[in-house]
């Protein structure tokens, strides 16, 4: 990847970057694959076996010069052909598709100059399969993932997770979708095949030579997070979705580093929400708009049957108070001309053909068993996590990330239900006024349920259903119910504003197996 700020880029990537830029690295895929087989644990027979590599490439994004990117490339070694789908003309990684109950092996080879590791965002996997930063591998090495899909059907995703480098690596292009299906989802009767459309929303900034521009290295920019002035959908600018006069399932992922979208239809009709991070809701919901923070997913039922052929609409992001530091005086992170909360079109929809379809919006989508707060081990005493700034760094309870460190409130017993409360009310801990920011808080390993939200906005959240990332605008606090099932070990929770994460707004939690579990 070629960046405008070469000095900072070289700092980030080290001397080996020269090899990357000239594209002189040879493929390590076959060597990695062969070595990987030896390390595969005996007795694990995968339904799906994929060789995945992170590598440097050039790809056309804007008219003119191609853009240097980093990207995931996959090769199917075993499994149904449909389980690995490459997006054409996109830096995004292949869409991996699997069914609940399937066993998946992914032999990941790092062809970057930097260390990296891959995290399966939203998937419930053992601690050593989760891509914790302590598991990073250097360039040239392979990490073999083997896990069973225990999640319900849903729109999950994958991206790198090396400490301090997640922001630049995701920004450079390393991200992909991981779609899980199951019988319940199939029975729901939703649009499928070409009518089931993944839409990854990301923002980027380019220099005059079409190369990606990241942060200039100013602390204040990192405190805000990166904001680009180009909105890309599935890696493409000025994205147009051609549709027929019928219903679609739209799966949206906010894969941006720090941009928040306040999504709405341009013509003002309500959004029909059918799913969130952890899959389908029980019943469809109508929302005038939905806030989508980095890392969050949203599934929509979009019916274009009442639109005349030839007509157009758009998904837009409505204006909101983005809570920038310095009262917006910074003009947005990264020197962006498009601050968080600016209004812009996300993508256009063009109705280009007539098609009859008998599909109607199902009134029941899935069954979700609600946790009972009375079953929580700390129901009277939620664990509190204050999202605060300290010594010019975003922290959780005043602490930043230390590789193996676990504080007392970060220990949990396996197979127990807990109430956690995230508090984004500023103040305390030596905060200065006017520095409140949104924080999308993400837990690894588990899907949780939102128990309660208190704050300013009441309409723009979809707190129903299963979540792994929850957005807190300034002044808000959210209580969630989490069950730490199945897997002992060290997992992460963090702000999914990737610049906040990289500066240490991330912590471990430790799931401890009790003797009765062992």
Binding site for ligand C2O (CB under 6 A): 119, 121, 159, 161, 295, 442, 444, 492, 494, 496
What is the arrangement of strands in the sheet containing 506-512, beginning at the earlier edge strand?
A: 411-413, 506-512, 489-495, 439-443, 469-472
Taking Cα atoms as reference points, which of 441, 446, 435, 457 lies closest to residue 497?
Answer: 441
Which of the choices ligand C2O, Cu ion, none does residue 495 contact, using the CB cut-off of 5 to 8 A by kind? Cu ion
Instruction: Give which of ligand C2O, Cu ion, none residue 494 binds (C-beta under 5 to 8 Å, depending on kind).
Output: ligand C2O
First to last CA, the chain: 46
Q: Which stretch binds Cu ion (CB under 5 A): 80-88, 396-404, 405-413, 436-444?
A: 436-444
For ligand C2O, the closer of residues 122 and 322 by Cβ is: 122
Spatial separation of the C-alpha atoms in residues 395 and 506, rounded to whole Å: 7
- Sign of CA pseudo-dihedral 455, 336, 297, 467: negative
> Taking contact as CB under 5 A, which single stretch among the options 108-116, 305-313, 327-335, 434-442 is the one that binds Cu ion?
434-442
- Residue 266: how many other CB atoms lie within 10 Å: 15
Task: Give the x/- contact pattern for Cu ion in 499-518, rule: CB under 5 A.
Answer: -x------------------
For residue 372, the tally of other CB atoms under 10 A from its CB is 10
CA distance 285 to 464: 9
Binding status of residue 163 toward Cu ion by CB under 5 A: no
Rg of the chain on CA atoms, in Å: 22
Is residue 53 close enough to count as binding Cu ion by CB under 5 A? no
Q: Least CB distance from residue 123 to ligand C2O, whole Å?
A: 10
Of Cu ion, ligand C2O, none, which one does residue 295 interact with (CB within 5 to 8 Å by kind)? ligand C2O
> Cα(372)–Cα(516) distance, rounded to whole angstroms?
23
Q: How many residues sit in the footprint of Cu ion (CB under 5 A)?
A: 6
Region of residue 418 (left: phi > 0; alpha: psi -120 to 50; beta: else): beta
Q: Does 495 bind Cu ion (CB under 5 A)?
A: yes
Q: Residue 200 CB, nearest distance to Cu ion (Å)?
A: 16
Phi, psi angle pair for 31, to nearest 5°:
-60, -45
Kindly tell me which of 483 and 494 has the beta carbon lying closer to ligand C2O: 494
By CB under 5 A, name the one of 204, 251, 439, 453 that touches Cu ion.
439
121 near Cu ion, judged by CB under 5 A:
yes
DSSP reduced 3-state for 87: coil
Closer CB to ligand C2O, 67 or 256, in the complex: 256
Least separation in angstroms between CB 159 and ligand C2O: 6
Location of structure tokens 């929509």: 300
Is residue 259 part of the contact set for Cu ion (CB under 5 A)?
A: no
Q: Which is nearer to ligand C2O, 48 or 492 (CB)?
A: 492
**What does 508 bind: Cu ion, ligand C2O, none (CB cut-off 5 to 8 Å by kind)?**
none
CB atoms within 10 A of CB 360: 10
CB of 444 to ligand C2O, least distance (A): 6
Closest by alpha carbon to 464, among 299, 285, 301? 285
Q: Where are the beta strands (DSSP E) in 256-397?
A: 261-265, 271-276, 279-287, 290-292, 297-303, 312-317, 344-353, 383-390, 393-396
Element (H, E) at 77: strand 67-78
Min dist CB 332 to ligand C2O, Å, is 23
With respect to Cu ion, which residue has the nearer C-beta, 386 or 444?
444
> Smallest gap, in angstroms, from Cβ of residue 294 to ligand C2O?
8
Kindly give the pairing relationship between strand 417-424 and strand 84-85.
unpaired
Closest approach, Cβ 53 to ligand C2O, in A, equals: 20
Which backbone phi and psi does 346 adopt, to 5 degrees? -90, -50
Binding status of residue 159 toward Cu ion by CB under 5 A = no
Q: How far is the CB of 503 from Cu ion (least distance, A)?
A: 9
Q: Which is nearer to ligand C2O, 202 or 245 (CB)?
A: 202
- Contact of residue 151 among ligand C2O, Cu ion, none (CB under 5-8 Å per partner type): none
Residue 285, classified by CB atoms within 10 Å of its CB into exposed (0-12), middle (13-18) or buried (19+), is middle
CB of 243 to Cu ion, least distance (A): 31
CB nearer ligand C2O, residue 107 or residue 119? 119
Residue nearest to Cu ion (CB): 495
Task: Choose among Cu ion, ligand C2O, none what residue 249 binds, the Cβ cut-off being 5 to 8 Å by kind.
Answer: none
Q: 514, exposed or middle or buried, with CB in 10 Å at 0-12, 13-18, 19+?
A: exposed
Residues that bind Cu ion (CB under 5 A): 121, 439, 444, 495, 497, 500
């Amino acid at each position: 990847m070629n960046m405008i700020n070469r000095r900072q880029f070289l700092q980030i990537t080290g001397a080996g970057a020269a090899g990357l830029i000239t594209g002189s690295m040879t493929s390590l895929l076959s060597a990695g694959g062969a070595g990987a087989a030896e390390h595969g644990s005996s007795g694990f027979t995968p339904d799906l076996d994929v060789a995945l590599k992170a590598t440097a490439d050039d790809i056309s994004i804007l008219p003119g010069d191609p853009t240097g990117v980093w990207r995931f490339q996959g090769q199917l070694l075993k499994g149904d052909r449909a389980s690995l789908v490459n997006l054409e003309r996109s830096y995004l990684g292949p869409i991996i598709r699997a069914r609940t109950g399937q066993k998946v092996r992914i032999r990941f080879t790092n062809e970057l100059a930097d260390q990296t590791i891959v995290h399966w965002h939203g998937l419930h996997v053992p601690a050593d399969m989760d891509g914790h930063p302590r598991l990073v591998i250097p360039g040239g090495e392979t990490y073999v993932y083997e896990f069973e899909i225990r999640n319900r059907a849903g729109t999950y995703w994958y991206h790198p997770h090396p400490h301090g480098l997640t922001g630049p690596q995701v920004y450079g292009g390393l991200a992909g979708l991981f779609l899980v299906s199951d019988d319940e989802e199939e029975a729901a009767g939703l649009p499928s095949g070409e009518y089931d459309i993944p839409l990854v929303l990301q923002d980027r900034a380019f220099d005059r030579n079409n190369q990606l521009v990241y942060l200039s290295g100013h602390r204040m920019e990192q405190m805000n997070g990166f904001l680009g002035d180009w909105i890309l959908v599935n890696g493409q600018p000025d994205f147009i979705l051609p549709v027929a006069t019928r219903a679609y399932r739209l799966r949206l992922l906010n894969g941006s580093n720090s941009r928040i979208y306040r999504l709405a239809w341009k013509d003002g009709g309500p959004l029909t929400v059918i799913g969130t991070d952890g899959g389908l809701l029980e019943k469809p919901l109508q929302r005038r708009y939905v806030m989508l923070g980095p890392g969050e997913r949203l599934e929509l039922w979009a019916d274009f049957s009442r639109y005349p052929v030839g007509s157009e609409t758009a998904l837009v992001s409505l204006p909101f108070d983005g809570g920038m530091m310095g009262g917006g005086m910074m003009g947005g992170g990264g020197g962006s001309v498009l601050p968080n909360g600016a209004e812009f079109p996300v993508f256009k929809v063009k109705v280009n053909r007539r098609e009859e379809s008998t599909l109607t919006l199902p009134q029941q989508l899935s069954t979700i068993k609600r946790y009972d707060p009375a079953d929580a081990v700390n129901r009277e005493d939620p664990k509190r996590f204050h999202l605060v700034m300290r010594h010019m760094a975003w922290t959780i309870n005043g602490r930043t990330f230390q590789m193996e460190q676990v504080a007392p409130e970060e220990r949990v017993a396996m197979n127990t239900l807990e109430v956690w409360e995230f508090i984004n009310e500023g103040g305390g801990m030596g905060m200065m006024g006017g520095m409140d920011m949104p924080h999308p808080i993400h837990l690894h390993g588990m899907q949780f349920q939102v128990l309660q939200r208190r704050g300013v906005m009441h309409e723009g959240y979809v707190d129903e259903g299963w979540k792994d990332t929850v957005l807190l605008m300034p002044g808000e606090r959210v209580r969630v119910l989490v069950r730490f099932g199945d897997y002992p070990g060290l997992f992460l929770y963090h702000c999914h504003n990737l610049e906040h994460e990289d500066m240490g707004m991330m912590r471990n939690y430790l799931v401890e197996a009790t003797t009765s579990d062992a």
